[in-house]
Amino acid sequence: MSRADLSEAGIYWQSRMGNNADGIGGNCHRYDVVTDGARGSLVVDYGIKIHNGGDSYDCSFPSPEGLFAKRGQATSADAPGALLLTHSHEDHLGAIRHAIDMGYRVPPIYCSPFTAELVRKSLTTAGIVEAERKPEIHSVGPGETVRLAGADITFVPVDHLPGASALVLRTKEAAIFHSGDYKFDATLPLGDRADPDLLRRIGKQGIDMVLSDSTAAGDPRPKVTEKEIEANLQRLVAAQEGRAVVAGVLGTQLDRVVSLGRAARASGRTLVITGHSLVANIKAAERSGHSLEKAIGAPIVEARDARHLNADKALVVTTGAFAQPSAGLTRTADQLPGALYIDRHTTIIIPQRAIPPVAEMHRDMVDKLDRMGATVITAERAEEQGHGVIHQSGHAIAADTKLLYTLLKPKQVVSPMHGAPGQIEANGDIARSLGIKALTLPGNGTVVRVNQQGVEIVGREAPARIGAIETAEIKQLPRARPGEGRRTHPASVYRYDRLDETGDTVLSRNVDAFDGPIRAARAGAASRSR
Ligand SMILES: [Zn+2]
């Protein structure tokens, strides 16, 4: 943060990406803590922004320059000493593997046990298996406080997905509440619930600034809880007697899988799961103490073990709610080999609304499934057809936003983040309506100082981004543990370009070669092809 004066004590916040008017994704924040004459730094979240069609990159993310040190090089004095993760969505942690691919050393990671499981999975999938490339990962329990960079940092459970946490950063000069993605829904079946009493106590200790999720802040509708969604799904599934039922979710949407599982159980159907990421996430949840089977009250069966089941006695849950290219439902729509069989006796339920970047792909997929003769019930159609609401945003709507501010009573300022411009404005308006000042979009790169003198913008720099393109070469990488079945496993290889802060201009192409086994695998492939 070279362009800001960090001499005064306080906490300095800077968004590196994900906080401008260019859409959601690539969330990353840098905090510099100046207290007792010392300075410590840390990073909160390091995610990707998914690009869909239209542009040439598969994803982009905040450049690791100025955040992490290169492997084999000395760590500079102002390099952050820790990476804290609020939760396990790709737009909050998906860039970790890329920074390591690019040869950077990621500092020790602090996150909830479930998030830790998914970070480990993401690294293994990317072929990052050697000890010297893997970052340390520390699990932090709900409500626990760790001392990092000179600040006390408390992980506060919020309702979003299992292990989702808000963070309170506190020194004697300042306290910031960083919401991460959150909403209030006491009926979510998995994970620890947001506790209004705890939030009130945190507020009483004093909060100077709240940074809060704006994604759905402009939604004025009354809240629909997961319990109500479960009841609607239960009625919908019960009405499908004699038919096959398939549901398409997001691989991380495990609370909805529980609702589907309970609906299946009520209709005497067995919940069958298929899709690599869904199965892996459910296993990761089990390992970190969030048992879906316990929450459903019935066993979950993997598709390969369900061949004996009649189609009308199963509810098959697969991935593809966003029509992602490799997801189960997308593969079915494209009639790829090994995809689920569907016909006019199949009902497909998609209890998720498509977000704008995937809307077109989603429409395409639903079209194809319609043409195959299946009855497709999307979240929109469910409401039109009188089945009720079967999806609710995972983000705070207006009522939740108001509740958060009422509980925390921030002393000085709210800074809306994470959302489209209209939503960010709506979030600010809610704060103002409660008599709390709100900053108007201090975009990426702006450095904001918080201390007892107030909240002040003290500088700005233009943090670069990296655009990643999968080069479509699948490399066989060595297994983490020898003797684990096949000796190698496939991993995608990316090319990285350095982009300006808007992502529109390429500053340099192919900025960093891969290191470690990926380079070795490339050299091997090249020599074989000669
Ligand atoms: Zn999220």
pLDDT of residue 486: 54
Q: How far is the CA of 515 from the centre of ligand 1 (A)?
A: 30
- Cα 89 to ligand 1 centre (Å): 5
Distance 191 CA to ligand 1 centre (A): 14
Please tell me the predicted confidence (pLDDT) of residue 68: 94
Average pLDDT over residues 376-400: 95
Q: Tell how far CA 253 is from the center of its chain.
A: 11
What CA–CA distance (Å, rounded) separates 151 from 57? Answer: 37
Q: 160 CA distance to ligand 1 centroid (A)?
A: 7
The Å distance, Cα 461 to ligand 1 centre, comes to 26
Mean pLDDT, range 75-95, rounded to an integer = 92
Predicted pLDDT at 521: 43
pLDDT at 470: 86
Q: What is the mean pLDDT of residues 392-419?
A: 91
The crossing angle, in degrees rounded to 10, of helices 398-408 and 196-204 is 50
Q: What is the mean pLDDT of residues 461-473?
A: 87
Per-residue pLDDT at 74: 80
pLDDT higher than 80, residue 401: yes
Name the nearest CA neighbour of 92 among 158, 44, 22. Answer: 44
The alpha carbon of 157 and the centre of ligand 1 are apart by a number of angstroms equal to 13
Distance 256 CA to ligand 1 centre (A): 14
For 189-241, how does the pLDDT look when each residue is reduced to its tens digit (9 = 90+)? Answer: 999 999 999 999 999 999 999 999 999 999 998 999 999 999 999 999 999 99
For residue 284, the CA-to-ligand 1 centroid distance in Å is 17
CA 246–ligand 1 middle distance (angstroms): 25
- Highest-confidence range of 52-56, 451-455, 480-484, by mean pLDDT? 451-455
pLDDT at res. 513: 52
Query: Is the pLDDT assigned to residue 520 strictly greater than 60?
Result: no
Give the model confidence (pLDDT) of 339-368 as tens digits: 999 999 999 999 998 877 788 889 999 999
Distance from residue 90's CA to the centre of ligand 1 (Å): 8
- How far is ligand 1, taken at its centre, from the CA of residue 315, in Å? 26
Q: How confident is the model at residue 509 (pLDDT cuts 50, 70, 90)?
A: confident
Cβ < 5 A residues, ion ligand 1: 89, 181
Q: What are phi and psi of 179, to 5 degrees?
A: -70, -25
Averaged over 56-75, what is the pLDDT?
89
Indicate whether 528 pLDDT > 60. no
What is the reported pLDDT for 24? 78
Instruction: Give the whole-angstrom CA distance, residue 161 versus residue 258.
Output: 12
Confidence of residue 489 (pLDDT cuts 50, 70, 90): low
Please, which pLDDT band fits residue 478 given cuts at 50, 70 and 90?
A: low
The alpha carbon of 88 and the centre of ligand 1 are apart by a number of angstroms equal to 7
**Strands (DSSP E) along 204-285, which ranges?**
209-213, 244-249, 270-273
Is residue 247 within 8 Å of residue 393, measured between CB atoms? no
The residue length of the chain stands at 530
pLDDT at 530: 31
Token pair, residue 232, equals 């609607």
Distance 298 CA to ligand 1 centre (A): 28
Residue located via tokens 């009354």: 222
Give the Å distance between the CA of 381 and the centre of ligand 1: 25
What is the distance in A from the centroid of ligand 1 to the CA of 72? 33
- Per-residue model confidence (pLDDT) at position 416: 83
Instruction: Report CA(427)–ligand 1 centroid distance (Å).
Output: 17
What does the alpha-carbon distance between residue 443 and residue 445 come to, in Å, rounded to a whole number? 6
Query: What pLDDT does residue 517 have?
Result: 41
Check residue 475 and give its pLDDT.
Answer: 66
At residue 356, the pLDDT reads: 75
In the reported structure, the alpha carbon of residue 169 is separated from the centroid of ligand 1 by a whole-number distance in angstroms of 20
Task: Give the residue ranges of DSSP H helices in 157-249.
Answer: 196-204, 226-238
* pLDDT confidence of residue 79: 87
Q: Could you tell me the CA-to-CA distances from 199 to 22, 87, 470 in Å, in that order?
A: 31, 18, 42
Mean pLDDT in residue range 439-455: 88
Q: Which two tokens stand for residue 506?
A: 């390429």
Do residues 511 and 496 touch, judged by C-beta distance below 8 A?
Answer: yes
pLDDT tens string 233-275: 999 999 999 999 999 999 999 999 999 999 999 999 999 999 8
Q: Compare 265 and 126 and report the one with higher pLDDT.
A: 265
Interval between CA 439 and ligand 1 midpoint (Å): 23
Structure tokens at 30: 């840098």
Asked if 517 and 477 touch (Cβ cutoff 8 Å), the reply is yes
Instruction: State residue 10's pLDDT score.
Output: 97
Average pLDDT over residues 42-67: 87
- In the reported structure, the alpha carbon of residue 92 is separated from the centroid of ligand 1 by a whole-number distance in angstroms of 7
What is the rounded average pLDDT for all residues in the chain? Answer: 89
pLDDT of amino acid 207: 96
Compute the distance from residue 339 Cα to the ligand 1 centre, in Å.
28
C-alpha dihedral sign at 191, 195, 201, 206: positive
Q: From the CA of 306, how far away is ligand 1's center (Å)?
A: 32
Helix boundaries (H) for 372-436: 379-384, 398-408, 421-433
Region 151-169: mean pLDDT is 97
Q: Does residue 320 have a pLDDT over 80?
A: yes
Cα 454 to ligand 1 centre (Å)? 30
Q: Residue 224 in contact with residue 428, Cβ under 8 Å?
A: no
Mean pLDDT across the stretch 64-91?
Answer: 90
What distances in angstroms separate CA 224 from CA 313, 418, 484, one per listed residue? 29, 22, 45
Structure tokens at 7: 């001499």
Task: Compare 290 and 421 and report the one with higher pLDDT.
Answer: 290
Residue 210 CA, ligand 1 centroid: distance in Å: 18
Output the pLDDT for position 230: 98
Q: What is the percent of the chain where pLDDT is above 70?
A: 91
Asked if 436 and 405 touch (Cβ cutoff 8 Å), the reply is: yes
